[in-house]
Amino acid sequence: MTSDSSVLIGLLLPDVLGTYSDSGNATVLAQRLRWRGIPAEVLRCTAGQDPPTGCDIYLLGGGEDTAQLFAASWLRSHRALCRAMERGGVTLAVCAGLQILGHTMADGTGRDHPGAGLLDITTRPRRRRAIGNIVTECHLPGVGQLCGFENHRGATSLGRDARPLGQVVDGIGNGATPFGRAAVEGVLSERIIGTYLHGPVLARNPALADHILVRATGGPLPPLELPDQAVLREMYL
Ligand code: GLN
């Protein structure tokens, strides 16, 4: 947080990554803070800019294969940002955003490309794309089930230092689970949450948004009374 107590949300490469409106995750976080009377600022950092390194939260979205290779080398060339993501703030990375934080990712021809190395994961292409709605049981305390839309060819294997974000209830998820084991989705490290869920995922899963906000602000947050939500539930459930 800055001296005037604004929570700083760094939206990284919205011009390169951000399929399915993943940039909306920044809007959701900022709005949920403002509704609680906490000032928030979204810092959009496009490819030609020097990235901010003092943010409370960093966001990366999904993208096509070529876009994500560019994003991976952009990240690797900004070591101070990588260090900040490792040690400073909380990061949410979606799909391609998740893949580029790993050790390597292979393209459609099987050739490996280096990632930023912040997560103990590797990604290789599946035979078929995973496309469709997905529901998972999230391992983060109090978050419950997550829902979203997945569309990826990459299958992500977790190393020893990475834990899954959740268990797949319906859908594919990371797509690299050994035969006979329950399928898992996403990745968790100390400061990074990675997921294959688009939506934007935080618009569809406010409990995950609040989990990130609690970690970034360091305190409990008052629950939000959103009368519209109650009305919508009455209408559609
Ligand atoms: N290009 C990556 C894949 O297909 C990520 C896709 C995405 O971000 N939706 O695996």
Query: Is any ligand 1 atom within 6 A of the Cβ of residue 148?
Result: no
Query: Is any ligand 1 atom within 6 A of the Cβ of residue 154?
Result: yes
Mean pLDDT calculated for residue range 207-232:
89
Residue 22 and residue 98: Cα distance in Å, rounded? 12
- Please check whether residue 123 lies inside any domain of the structure: yes
Say how many Å lie between the CA of residue 4 and the centre of ligand 1. Answer: 38
- Please check whether residue 2 lies inside any domain of the structure: no
Residue 168 and residue 6: Cα distance in Å, rounded? 36
- Please check whether residue 128 lies inside any domain of the structure: yes
Phi, psi of 21 (to 5 degrees): 60, 35
Instruction: Name the residue of 153, 196, 201 whose CB sits within 8 Å of the most ligand 1 atoms, as the mutation to test its pocket.
Output: 153
Say how many Å lie between the CA of residue 46 and the centre of ligand 1. Answer: 20
Q: Point out the ligand 1 atom lying closest to the alpha carbon of residue 64.
A: 1
- Please check whether residue 74 lies inside any domain of the structure: yes
CATH code, domain carrying 144: 3.40.50.880
Tell me if 193 sits within 8 A of 94, measured CB to CB: no
- Please check whether residue 25 lies inside any domain of the structure: yes
At residue 232, does pLDDT exceed 80? no
pLDDT category of residue 2 using cuts at 50, 70 and 90: low
Count up the domains in the chain and report the number.
1
Question: Tens of pLDDT along 140-185?
Answer: 999 999 999 999 999 999 999 999 999 999 999 999 988 888 999 9
Query: Is any ligand 1 atom within 6 A of the Cβ of residue 174?
Result: no
- Please check whether residue 116 lies inside any domain of the structure: yes
- Please check whether residue 155 lies inside any domain of the structure: yes
Q: Point out the ligand 1 atom lying closest to the alpha carbon of residue 154.
A: 10
Looking at per-residue pLDDT, the higher value among 223 and 123 belongs to 123
Domain of 116, in residue numbers: 7-236
Q: What is the largest CA-CA distance in the chain?
A: 52
pLDDT category of residue 3 using cuts at 50, 70 and 90: very low
Say how many Å lie between the CA of residue 63 and the centre of ligand 1. Answer: 6
First to last CA, the chain: 38
**Mean pLDDT score of the chain:** 94
Q: Whose CA is nearest to atom 5 of ligand 1?
A: 96
Mean pLDDT calculated for residue range 126-141:
97
Handedness of CA 110, 112, 115, 117 (dihedral sign): positive
Residue 110's beta-bridge partner residues? Answer: none
Mean pLDDT calculated for residue range 64-69:
96
- Please check whether residue 12 lies inside any domain of the structure: yes
Q: Point out the ligand 1 atom lying closest to the alpha carbon of residue 151.
A: 9
Say how many Å lie between the CA of residue 173 and the centre of ligand 1. Answer: 12
Instruction: Name the residue of 13, 95, 134 whose CB sits within 8 Å of the most ligand 1 atoms, as the mutation to test its pocket.
Output: 95
The pLDDT assigned to 148 comes to 97
Query: Is any ligand 1 atom within 6 A of the Cβ of residue 91?
Result: no
Say how many Å lie between the CA of residue 209 and the centre of ligand 1. Answer: 22
Tell me if 9 sits within 8 A of 26, measured CB to CB: yes
Query: Is any ligand 1 atom within 6 A of the Cβ of residue 171?
Result: no
**Residue 7: both structure tokens together:** 């929570």
Distances (CA, A) of 93 to 43, 81, 127: 16, 14, 24
